[in-house]
Structure 1
Amino acid sequence: MKERIERLKKLTYIPQKEIAWLIEQAELAVKQREIIEENKRQQEVTVHQFRQAQKDIQQLSGDRKRYKQALEKIITNLNFAIQVAQNELEGATK
């Protein structure tokens, strides 16, 4: 392609065939630029979504830890209440 461009630069008259080729190359360059820009945009969207997912995972992990701790406290309190109730039943039956 570089050789063809250099050859065209040296011509004082550019044949119609060569003009068509230049137009085709320019159109291809525009399409390639559009594709590259769209790919960059999609990449930015993907990076944003990934970062948001990371934040969500961290938040859910924290929520899970808090729920687990709360559930452990509830279980401890229920076990204590069960033990108290059993003790009261044993005392009432004696």
Structure 2
Amino acid sequence: MKERIERLKKLTYIPQNDIAWLIEQAELSVKQQEIIEENKRQQEVTVHQFRQAQKDIQHLSGDRKRYKQALEKIITNLNFAIQVAQNELDGAAE
């Protein structure tokens, strides 16, 4: 490819097939640039989605911790209520 470019630079008259090749290369370059730009855009979207997912996970982890603590308090209170009821039943049976 470099050889062909150097040869074209030296010509004052450029043959039709060389012009066609130049046009083809230019079109290919434009398509490649469009693909690169689209890939960058998709990468930015993916990074944004990943960061949002991280925030969601942190939020859900915090919710999970609060729910677990609340459930542990409920279980402790229920165990206490069961023990009180059991003591009352034991006292009534005596």
Q: How would you bin the TM-score normalised by the shorter chain?
A: over 0.9
3-state SS, counterpart of residue 71 of structure 1: helix
Alpha-carbon distance, 1:5 to partner = 1.3
Query: Aligned partners of 1:77 and 1:13: how far apart in 2?
Result: 95
Q: By how many angstroms is 1:2 displaced?
A: 2.1
Residue 3 of structure 1: CA displacement? Answer: 2.1
Q: Deviations over 1:15-57 (max 9, x none)?
A: 0000000000000000000000010011001101111111111
CA distance in 2, matches of 1:45, 1:55: 15
Q: Deviations over 1:55-78 (max 9, x none)?
A: 111111111111110000000000
Identity of aligned residues (%): 91
What are the within-5 Å matches in structure 2 for residues 1-94 of structure 1? 1-94=1-94
Q: Structure 2: how far apart are the matches of 1:6 and 1:41?
A: 35
The CA RMSD measured in Å over matched residues stands at 0.8
User: 1:48 and 1:57 mapped to 2: Cα distance?
Assistant: 14
Count of aligned pairs between the two proteins: 94
- Return the offset for 1:7: 1.3
C-alpha deviation, 1:93, in angstroms: 1.5
